[in-house]
Amino acid sequence: MLPLFTRSIKFIIGAGFIFVLLLALIGTVTTLIKEPAQPTAEEEFHKHPKELDLASNGPLGKFDNAQLQRGFLVYEKVCASCHSLNLVSFRDLQQLGYNEAEVKKIAKDWPIKQPVQDPKAGTWGERDNLASDRFPKVYYPGTGSPPDLSLIAKARHDGAAYVHSLLTGYQNQPAELLKKFPTAKTPDGSYYNPYFANLNIAMPPPLTSENQVTYSDGTRATVDQMAKDVSAFLVWTAEPTLQTRHRAGVAVVLFLLFATALAYGAYLTVWRGVKH
C-alpha cells in the first residue's frame, strides 16, 4: 500500500511540474505573439561589411606586393601611432619586395624604439630597432592600448572587408535612428559608424582626405584606395603564408585527382574479363 501511495505522490508532483512548465511556455509564446520583441538600434542599423575584391581572395588568390607596400605605407603613416603590429618582424617586410637595406632603414627610422634595461643601473632606456625585432608595441599609460592589428583580419568576421568598411564607414547619425531611438545618440568623444558592433566607436576617422599619403607608384591615394590597400596589408600580416597554403592545396587536389585516375585504371585492369 505504501509503495503505491509513494508512486502516486511522485506522479502527481511530476504532473504538476510539467503543468507549470506548460503554463510558462504558453504564457511566453502568447506574450511574444501579442508583444513581439522590438529590435534594438544596433540590430536595426548595424551593417554587414561591403564586399572587397582583393588579389588574395579565393582558393587561388595570391598577394599583390605593390598593393601590400602601399598598405604598409598607410599603416606606417596613419595607423602605427596608435596600433601595434607586434607579431610581425621588420625583416618580414622582405616578403613584400623590400630589400635588406630598405628593411634596416625602416627599422632604424621607426619612431617607436625598443625598450632596453641597464642591468647595472636598473633603469630603462631605448635603442634603435633592428631588422630582427618585431614592430614595437604602442602604449598609452593609464588608458590601455588600442587593439594590435597583427591578426585583426583573422579576428574579425569578413576580415579585410570589415576593416575596409569600418575605415570608410564614418558618417553622421541617420535622422531615422534618432527618431526611433532618441537615447541612442552618439556620446561625446565617440563617432558613428554603422559597421562597428555597437554603432559608436572611440577611434576618430583615420582616413580623412585624399593624398593623406603619397604613393611612389603613382596610384591615386583616395580614401577608398588607402582603406583597400591597408586592408590587403593586414590580410598579409594575419596570414603571411597564405600563398604557400593555396599552392599546397592545389597540389594536394591535383594529386588526389591523379591518384583517383590511377586507382580507377587499376580497378578496370584487375576486373577486366571478369563476368558479373
- The binding site for heme c comprises 79, 82-83, 203
Cell of 96: 613584400
CA-wise closest residue to 82 among 143, 169, 148, 133:
148
Q: Which helix (H) or strand (E) holds 116?
A: strand 114-118
DSSP 77: I
Q: Hey, CA dihedral for 159, 161, 162, 168, is it positive or negative?
A: positive
Report the binding-site residues. Answer: 79, 82-83, 203
What one-character DSSP code corresponds to residue 252? H
| Cβ-count burial 188-205 (b if 16+ within 10 Å, e if not) | eebbbbbbbeebbbebee
How far, in Å, CA of 176 to CA of 107, rounded? Answer: 49
